[in-house]
Amino acid sequence: MTLEEIQHLRRLVEANRDFRTAAQDQLVISEARLRAAHERIRELENELILASPPENAATIHFGNVDPAAFGQAIADELARGKKAREL
Domain range list for the chain = 3-86
pLDDT, tens digit, for every residue of 35-58? 999 999 888 888 877 777 665 555
pLDDT at 55: 59
Express each pLDDT in 18-36 by its tens digit.
999 999 999 999 999 999 9
Question: Quick check: 60 pLDDT over 60?
Answer: no
Is pTM beyond 0.85? Reply is no
Q: What is the pLDDT of residue 23?
A: 94
Residues in CB range of 44: below 8 A, 6 or more apart: 70, 73, 74, 77
Identify any residues that bridge with 61 across adjacent strands, giving them in sequence order. 64
Q: From CA 48, how far away is CA 8, in angstroms rounded? A: 59
In the DSSP assignment, the letter for residue 7 is H
Asked if 7 contacts 1 with a C-beta cutoff of 8 angstroms, the reply is no
